[in-house]
Structure 1
Amino acid sequence: MEKNIGGFDRPLRIVAGLVILSLFFMIEGPNRWFALLGIVPLFTGLIGWCPAYTLFGIRTCKLKAK
């Protein structure tokens, strides 16, 4: 699994994931469970790899020289 997230995209995903997850504790009712979707950007930002980017051939990190 080669990293395909980097630069500005990675910290943005981590922050967005944390903000969305925090909504879980602020919202009441059945809709609060949608806030758990914040796990996706948080996890992809932490590991530096996004399956959707792989599918579409997108890469925001620099290639390493071999």
Structure 2
Amino acid sequence: MKLNMGTLDRRLRLFLAAPALILAGVLIGPGGVVSIVLYVLAGLMVATSLAGSCPLYTLLGIRSCPISSEHTPATSGRSSA
């Protein structure tokens, strides 16, 4: 599984979005269908932020993680001059 989420994206999901969804679910009522959907979304946001990979980002081709030099193809060692 490739990492496709940057540090800022992961922190926003973990510390802002997931608690906001949980709070909205509590305000709506713990037994309602909408609140259960919000709880599931919050759980998915926590799971993806801890894993560092979002399946939806993969499908859409989004990447908020900077590309490191380890994953770029190596050059052949020849200079262009």
- Whether the TM-score (by the shorter chain) exceeds 0.5 is yes
The correspondence for 1:49, drawn from 46, 53, 67, is 53
Cα root mean square deviation, aligned? 1.8
- Superposition map of 1:1-66 within 5 A: 1-14=1-14, 15-28=16-29, 29-30=31-32, 31-36=34-39, 37-66=41-70
Q: Is 53-62 or 12-21 further displaced after alignment? A: 12-21
Between 1 and 2, higher relative CO (CA 8 Å, sep ≥ 6) is seen in: 1
Which runs of 5 or more residues in structure 1 are unaligned?
none
State the percentage of identical aligned residues.
35
Per the normalisation by structure 1, the TM-score is 0.77
Structure 1 runs (4+) deviating above 4 angstroms are none
Post-superposition offset of 1:43: 1.2
Which runs of 5 or more residues in structure 2 are unaligned?
71-81
Aligned residues: 66
Q: Is 40-49 or 15-24 further displaced after alignment? A: 15-24
Post-superposition offset of 1:39: 0.9
Post-superposition offset of 1:46: 1.4
